[in-house]
Structure formats: structure tokens, C-alpha cells
Amino acid sequence: MSEVPDRQTPDRERIRPVKRRVEDQLIALPGVVGVDIGEKVSRGEPTGSESIVVHVNQKVDVSRLPADQLIPAEIDGIPTDVVEHRIRLQAHLVPFAGAVAPTPGADTTDTRRYRPLAGGASMGPYRPVPRGGSVVDGAPGEYLVAGTLGAFVTDRRTGRTLALTNFHVAAVDTGWRAGDLQLQPSRIDDGAMAGSPIGTVQRAVISDRVDGAAVLLAPGTQWYPGVIGIGPVKGRAVARIGQTVRKRGRTTGLRRGTVSSVDFTVQIDFGGETGVRTLRDQVRIDRDPTEAEFSAGGDSGSVVVDDRGRVVGLLFAGEEDGSFALANPIDAVLDELGVKLATPKSAARRATRAARAAQAARAARWDAALDAWAAATGAGRWLTTADPREPGRSGPARRPTASGTSSAARAGAVSARQTGGAAAQPFTEPFTEPFTEPFTEPFTEPFTEPFTEAYLADPFTEPFTEPFTEPFTEPFTEPFTERFAAPNGGGHTDGEVPRAQLERAFWAGYVAALGRGSRRY
């Protein structure tokens, strides 16, 4: 599909700086919840001219308002329009104590467990959160929270994979801590039982542009860099007015809509100590005329995707009747969280780099081990033996070859068989040094079976052909405690170094079997 042109009319470009200058004054007025740019409507009919649109919870007759609370008919020659809307965060909350409340959009609500993980699935924190009642229109108390896992991202610094969602879904309030456990499906959607842990909150941001959080996936977690019913994420893009977009949320499933603004500034109550916040220049998405709603409570955290599979926003709020939703611009989200979107290509590149790095690390470890062993045992001493080129003369110490031995070492083995001496002794002390380097290689076996079960309207019909599994990053710390058994047969040394040849043979075989990548041996 061709690129949708950005419908930035001259009027909108002229209005934008004025709107930004006066929006704080307008939002400070009682009942005002948002300021936007849009077409003015008069007596239910569009006028064709752009205006500064002021959103209020409830319209009040001007005769009942004091003069200092009136919204002027014009600002710097730009007409204003006043519209009535109730805008709310779109997480789903139920009281922690008592029965689970019915979920909005229950006919489309998806409470299933997905492995591999994918965008568009239910998620939420394990911990219940305190609420004063203003956000959920209920009694004060502790609540469970459900939202949507939007997509997957990678940490720009470490390369680790994280799940992307909203601050008010994963962190919820200022009481959050890094390490808070997250579940998929959410605790609400798993009934009285706790859902399956998928990771922990690593970072969360609430600012004047972003309501976002990143959840560090647990080691070994399988994930798919795409959205259920939409397909693989192809990257990111800037939202453009007039373009068609899709989202897949926990509650309303797969829905289509149209970007109608990129200038929406909203004042919204996050509840608790977070309180009322103002988010500026948000993306507004209007529902498709053929659908009842674009989003509902529980869809917070969904990514908004264009027809080319590129993410343009992170959904966080919307009109109570589902007629439109609001999303953070995705570039702002990624920048403030310090992450980038994961795509099939980027995930495959990362897996390849991780495998190469792990191979290089193994080679370096074996090199270091051999260097330390050689220094401790006196490599010059144990490599000095009869020189086959000149019988009766000792030859110089030599490095082992790539196969793990040297010509001098091989000569030493012959000499030992011929000359006799003290019997070789086995290793009787346990090898007590653990492997402390983490196992950083991902699983390299691809997922070759496609998902053929239909998820709502659109199934995954293509197989997973790349491995996307979080590596195990915990080190192996258990030491080897079994001694090395005595060698078979009656091998002898020349008497000068009774254990040298056995040690040499062991290390050479060890490196050959496990490394084969040493830089010098």
C-alpha cells in the first residue's frame, strides 16, 4: 500500500503554536479534560474550518458560568469549539477482595495464555494496588489490574528483550519497584489463581508525552515479535492524519480505526499518588464506522499499527463510549524508555550476534585456563624431554598445536613408553572451580510448527522460522566434585615430571572437545 500523505493543512500548521500556547490555561478551567485541533461543528454540521477543540466532561450553559470560566469564541482569530467527552485510562480494574467483576466486551475478551508470548495478549502485575475510587468509579481499596502486552522491544544498552505496555498497566502507581512480577494472562483473567509469570518491571515512565513501561522477560521465555491477528512488527513510523490503523487489545480484540489528530493534549486522572497528569500532542484514533468501538478498559498497552505493520503509537486512554482512543507517539515511548522495537529481522540478527559472542567467550575461557595451568605447572619443565632429532639431548619447550599437543609432547609420550619410571598418578582432588561465565546462547532450534488456530478473525498462518528465546543468563555455579579416575594401563613417565603427561593429555582433550576455537593452541 502506498504511503498515506500527511494531511497537515495550512490551518492546522497555523493553529498548532497558538493551541500549544493557550492549552494550559484552557485545561485549568473546571471541567476541561482536553485540547485538540479539529474541524469545527456547528449545530451538528461540520463547517469545513479548523478550530481549537476544547473537550469537557459535561457541557454547561454559559449563563451558569462565571466570566473567568468561559471559553472564548475565538483565540487570536482562531475559532474554538466545545465538545463533551469522558476520557479514561483503559486498564481494567476489579476489587482484590470478592468476586471477579464482569469484563467489558466479554464476548471478545481474550483471557488465554500464550506461549510463545505475542503482542495483543492479556497481562498485568501480580501485586494488588491501592485505589481511591476516582479512576474506577468504585469504593477505595485494593484492585487487580489487567491490560495488554503491546509488542516486544530491546534495551538499547544491553540488548535484552522486554515486553512493552503502559505505566498504568505494569507499574500502576508510584509504589512500583523494579522487579515487580508481571503475569500473562493477568491475575484477573486467571480467576483466583495467579497467572503465569513472564518477567519483571525493569523501567517505567510517566511524563508529558509518555505512559510506558518495559518488562524484562524471564530467561527461557519464548516470544514472537508480532501482534496476534496482525502479524510481525515491521518497525515504527510517525502517525499521519487520515491513515488507517489497527490495534489488538485484550478486551475488544482486533479493531480498525483512522488517525484523526496528532495534537491531542489530555488531562487524565491516574489515581493514587500519581494523580492527575497532562499528556501533550497525543495521537487520536477514531473508530471505524462499521465497528461499535475502537477500544475499552483492558486494552491499555496495545500498540497501534499501520497497514504496513509499523507501530505508530501505544494506546493508553479513550472515550468511555469507545468512539476514539488516545495513544502515545511511539518515537517518544521508545526514546524515554531507552529501547527499540523488536522485529523478526532484528531478533534474528541479535541471536546470531549472541551465538558468535558466546563462541568467542568460550574460546577466551579455554585460552585463559590453559595459560594459568601452564604457568602453575611450569610449562618449560614439563615440555622438556628427549629431542627425537638428537637422541640424548633435551629439546626446547614448545606450544601445543591446534590439536592440543606439540611435537615435543608427542616425543615425550614415546619416551615415556620406552624409558620407564614412576607410575602416573590420577587426579584425586575434585575440580572445584565452577563455571562462572553465564550461558548466553539462545536456543537455536526454530519454531517450525505454525499457529493454525484462528485468533479472532485472523490466525497466524506462517510458521515461526527464527528462534526467539531469551537466553539463560544465570551462571552455572555448582563445582565438579567427582575426582578424575585413574588411567587404564601402566603408563610411565621419565621420573622427572610424574603427572605432567597426564595433565597435558587431559587439557588437550578437554580443549579439543569443548572449545576447538582457541586463538593460539
Q: Where are the alpha helices (DSSP H) in 276-406?
A: 330-337, 344-377, 379-382
Lowest mean pLDDT among 145-149, 215-219, 440-444, 510-514: 440-444
99-128 per-position pLDDT tens digit: 455 555 667 899 999 999 999 999 999 999
Confidence of residue 137 (pLDDT cuts 50, 70, 90): low
Q: Is 207 helix (H, G, I), strand (E, B) or coil?
A: coil
Within a domain: 345: no
Per-residue model confidence (pLDDT) at position 503: 65
pLDDT at 383 over 50: no
State the average pLDDT over residues 328-350.
95
Q: Grid coordinates standing for 194?
A: 495467579
Of the pLDDT bands very low, low, confident and very high (cuts 50, 70, 90), residue 364 is confident
In a domain, 444, yes or no: no
Contact criterion met (CB below 8 Å) for 379 and 397: yes
| Average confidence (pLDDT) over 198-212 | 97
Question: DSSP letters of 418-486?
Answer: HH--SBPPPP-S-------SB--PPP-----S---SEETTEE--SPP-S--BPPP-SBP-PPP-SPPPP
State the cell numbers at 237.
513510523
Q: How far apart are CA 230 and CA 335, in angstroms?
A: 24
pLDDT of 397 > 90? The answer is: no
DSSP 108: T
Would residue 419 be called left, alpha or beta, if left means φ above 0 and alpha means ψ between -120 and 50 degrees? alpha
pLDDT at 351: 78
Print burial letters for 26-64: b (CB count within 10 Å at least 16), e (below 16).
Answer: bbeeeebbbbbbbebeeeeeeeeebbbbbbbeeeeeeee
Q: Is the pLDDT of residue 150 over 60?
A: yes
* Residue at 2 is within a domain: no
357 versus 83: the higher-pLDDT residue is 83
Mean pLDDT of 369-375: 77
pLDDT > 90 fraction of the chain, expressed in percent and rounded: 51
pLDDT band at 500 (very low <50, low <70, confident <90, very high): low
Please give the pLDDT value at position 269. 94
Residues 148 and 282 grouped into a single domain: no
Indicate whether 508 and 367 sit together in one domain.
yes
What would the pLDDT profile of 426-441 be if each residue is shown by its tens digit? 444 444 444 444 434 4
Nearest to 397 by CA among 310, 471, 497: 497
Q: Which domain holds residue 284?
A: 231-333
Residue 345 identity: K
Q: Is the pLDDT of residue 332 over 90?
A: yes
Give a yes or no: residue 53 inside a domain. yes
Q: Would 339 be classed as within a structural domain? A: no
Give the residue from 374, 383, 378 showing the smallest Cα distance to 411. Answer: 383
* 324: CB partners within 8 A, 6+ apart: 257, 260, 284, 285, 286, 287, 294, 318
pLDDT band at residue 140 under the 50/70/90 scheme: confident
Separation CA 32–CA 54 (nearest Å): 7
The pLDDT value given to residue 51: 96
Top-confidence residue, 232 or 7: 232
Question: What is the tens place of the pLDDT at every residue in 216-226?
Answer: 999 989 999 99
How does pLDDT run across 23-61, given as a tens digit for each residue? 999 999 999 999 999 999 988 888 889 999 999 999 988
Which residue has cell 629439546? Answer: 395
Answer yes or no: are the C-beta atoms of 235 and 312 closer than 8 Å: no
pLDDT at 483: 41
460-471 pLDDT, tens digit each: 434 444 446 665
In-domain check, residue 460? no
What is the DSSP secondary-structure string of 38-77?
EEEEETTEEEEEEEEEEEESS---GGGS-GGGPPPSEETT
Whether 386 has a pLDDT exceeding 70, the answer reads no
| Residue where a domain terminates, one of 265, 300, 333 | 333
pLDDT at 378: 62
Of 382 and 160, the structure prediction assigns the larger pLDDT to 160
pLDDT of residue 192: 52
Are residue 95 and residue 220 in the same domain, yes or no?
yes
- Residues 55-80: what's their mean pLDDT? 92
CA distances (Å), origin 61, targets 64, 66, 71: 6, 11, 12
How many domains are there within the chain?
Answer: 4
In a shared domain, residues 172 and 302: no
- Considering only CA atoms, which of 118, 126, 90 is closest in space to residue 314? 90
> Taking 60 as the threshold, does the pLDDT of residue 459 lie above it?
no
Phi, psi of 246 (to 5 degrees): -135, 160
Spatial separation of the C-alpha atoms in residues 57 and 87, rounded to whole Å: 8
Same domain, 379 and 490: yes
Distance CA 122, CA 188 (A): 9
Residue 433, all three cell numbers? 572451580
Average pLDDT over residues 127-150: 78
Q: Is residue 131 part of a domain?
A: yes
Mean pLDDT of the chain: 78
Assess whether 76 and 220 both reside in one domain.
no
DSSP letter, residue 394: B
Residue 506 dihedral angles phi and psi, to the nearest 5°: -65, -50
Judge if 182 and 96 occupy the same domain: yes
pTM of the predicted model over 0.75: no
251 lies in some domain: yes
Which CATH number belongs to the domain containing residue 70 in this structure?
3.30.300
Mean pLDDT value of segment 256-278: 95
81/101 same-domain check: no
- Same domain for 362 and 507: yes
Distance CA 463, CA 302 (A): 23
Task: Look at residue 270 and tell me whether its pLDDT is greater than 70.
Answer: yes
Report pLDDT digits (tens) over 237-249: 999 999 999 999 9
Among 43-47, 370-374, 403-407, which stretch is predicted with the lowest mean pLDDT? 403-407
Three-class SS of residue 122? strand
Residues 413 and 487 in one domain: yes
Domain boundary among 227, 248, 281: 227
Write the CATH number for 242.
2.40.10.10
Which of 85, 116, 134 represents a domain boundary (last residue)?
Answer: 85
Residues 6+ apart with CB under 8 A from 480: 430, 431, 432
Q: Are residues 301 and 223 in the same domain?
A: no
**What is the pLDDT, as a whole number, of residue 502?**
63
Q: Which residue has the higher pLDDT, 516 or 87?
A: 87
* Residues 81, 112 within the same domain: no
**pLDDT greater at residue 384 or residue 373:** 373
